[in-house]
A = this chain, B = another copy of it.
């Protein structure tokens, strides 16, 4: 559980870099070797490899080496795990908005009732 939380640290940190986001996007379309992945980036290979390592450490990407070529693939569970975090926050936030809306509606109703001087239940006095 605390494990999961610190995993989120690494996932978001990994996704904060545009190079790494691009790699993830590329891997969504299917697996690829390190060399293939590196082509679009104007960067020395060791620098690029660091990004791969960060992605692997975060759990977003897995790789295995066969012969001299290392093939990388997405590890979708981790990606989905991060998405879940947003959905949880949104659930909380939307629930609050709903309550707020209900509250505003109630206020409106009371105001309308207060203004209308006729037969509706009406508190005396204030405004």
Contact = CB atoms under 8 A, between A and B. Distances in A.
Interface string A18-56: 100100110011100000000000000000000000000
A13 interface: yes
Indicate the size class of the contact surface on chain A: 20 to 34
A92 interface: yes
State the number of copies, please. 2
Contacts of A25: 89, 92
A5 interface: yes
Interface of A: 5-6, 8-10, 12-13, 15-18, 21, 24-25, 28-30, 74, 76, 79-80, 82-83, 85-87, 89-90, 92-93, 96
29 contacts: A5-B18, A6-B18, A8-B15, A8-B18, A8-B21, A9-B16, A10-B16, A12-B12, A12-B13, A12-B15, A13-B13, A16-B16, A25-B89, A25-B92, A28-B89, A28-B92, A28-B93, A29-B92, A29-B93, A74-B93, A76-B90, A76-B93, A79-B89, A79-B90, A80-B90, A82-B86, A83-B86, A83-B90, A86-B86
